[in-house]
Amino acid sequence: MFGAFIITCGFTHLIDVWTFYNPVYRFSAFMKVITALASLSTVIALIPTIPKALNLPGIITLNEKLHQEVKVRKKTEEDLQLSYSTLAKKMEDLETINARLEQEITTRKEYEEKLARQTRELEYSNKELEQFTYITSHDLRSPLINLRGFSDVLQNSLDKATPAIKKGLKELSGKEKEKIEKILESSIPKALGYINSAVGRIDNLSNAILELSRTGRRKLHWELIDTNKLVSSCIDSFRHQIDVKNVVVVLEEIPSVYADRVSVEQVFANIIDNAIKYLPPGPQGKISISGREEEEHVLFVIEDNGCGIAEHNMEKVFQVFRRIGKAEVPGEGMGMAYTKTIVHRHGGEVWCESTLDKGTKFYFTIKQKLNKNEDY
């Protein structure tokens, strides 16, 4: 409508110019009527828009809003810039962490390769050591057998020659006769006795070395063991010694374990045997056996009220061929070395606490493992 009003206004002005040169007043009046109608229609059409026009914001308001939008946009740009800076810093930190992680991975790979190499070398050394131990303990027996055999020959020869020598002694003077009789009846038998004793000792040691080597190589057979039943049976095997020494053995309820039956029995037997051997005469001996489950291991404790171990001897307890205590107590000093080897193969540890003249506590653990075929 507003467009029609503009167009009619334009025609009216053109008609006025035309009328100035060629009078056409009627047509000019007609166009003015048309223009007036267009103008009136435009006014009528604009009446409903007046309230909306009145509600339109003014220039000041628009400027304020524009200023506010500019501020918001600047704040948004600043936040974006800060976020970008923070992101850039985090990216730098991430790159640093990645570089450090790559270095750690490289270091770990190098460590794993070194560990694998050392493991192979250790396995090779262990095999060589086992072979050397076996050969040494085996080859020692040959000269020992010869030494013992010739010692027996000498003894038999001496037994046969003694009567004839004694007959000839009748012709000798008193001192010479006495000297030879002492050699025949004391010195030679004593020397042969020392030889036989030394041979026996070396034979026992070589057997002990061989047994220790076998202990480390023997295949373990894993099974669930009723430890109470096993230890009770072990105690019964020492019943004679227990009765002779009047020892009280207290076995508490102890947990079952997955382990090699022969090995566990040997560990308990070695520790109980030592406890009985080294109980002093006098007060009644007592041996207590207990155990409990821990997070990753089963712990066993064997306590006695025996002679105890001096502090300076504690480090020798689990060493090969190292004996602590009375020399007259039989043994080769290998029992606790066997025990340590067996316990380590079960993923455990063995140690002791002791007070001289009061008693000793032996502790050992067996790992509770899901994979029963695992061997340490």
Helix (H) or strand (E) holding 241: helix 239-245
Q: What is the mean pLDDT of the chain?
A: 78
Tokens of 111: 């460590």
**Which is it for strands 359-367 and 350-355: parallel, antiparallel or unpaired?**
antiparallel
Model pLDDT, residue 370: 46
The rounded distance, in Å, linking the Cα atoms of 337 and 209 is 10
End-to-end CA distance of the chain: 102
Model pLDDT, residue 57: 61
Model pLDDT, residue 184: 73
Q: With contact defined as beta carbons under 8 Å apart, do 318 and 298 qualify?
A: no
CATH code, 222-367: 3.30.565.10
For residue range 193-232, what is the model confidence (pLDDT) as tens digits?
A: 777 777 776 666 666 666 666 655 667 888 999 999 999 9
The answer to whether residue 135 scores a pLDDT higher than 70 is no
Q: With contact defined as beta carbons under 8 Å apart, do 313 and 230 qualify?
A: no
Tokens of 94: 């991430």
The rounded distance, in Å, linking the Cα atoms of 291 and 259 is 15
The rounded distance, in Å, linking the Cα atoms of 358 and 303 is 11
Q: pLDDT-based confidence at 262, cuts 50/70/90? A: confident
Q: With contact defined as beta carbons under 8 Å apart, do 373 and 222 qualify?
A: yes
Give the residue-averaged pLDDT of 121-148.
67
Neighbours of 365 (CB within 10 A): 20
The answer to whether residue 254 scores a pLDDT higher than 50 is yes
For residue 247, give Cα distances in angstroms to 272, 292, 300, 305, 321: 11, 24, 20, 10, 27
For residue range 282-337, what is the model confidence (pLDDT) as tens digits?
A: 778 899 999 999 988 999 999 999 888 888 777 878 776 566 655 455 555 577 88
Q: pLDDT-based confidence at 50, cuts 50/70/90? A: low
Give the residue-averaged pLDDT of 330-348.
79
CA 290 to chain centre: 26
Q: With contact defined as beta carbons under 8 Å apart, do 199 and 144 qualify?
A: yes
Task: List 361's β-bridge partners, or say none.
Answer: 303, 353
Give the residue-averaged pLDDT of 62-80.
84
Q: pLDDT-based confidence at 177, cuts 50/70/90? A: confident
The rounded distance, in Å, linking the Cα atoms of 220 and 262 is 9
The answer to whether residue 172 scores a pLDDT higher than 80 is no
The rounded distance, in Å, linking the Cα atoms of 327 and 274 is 13
Q: With contact defined as beta carbons under 8 Å apart, do 278 and 326 qualify?
A: yes
Give the residue-averaged pLDDT of 159-165.
76
Task: Identify the CA nearest to 334 among candidates 198, 213, 200.
Answer: 213
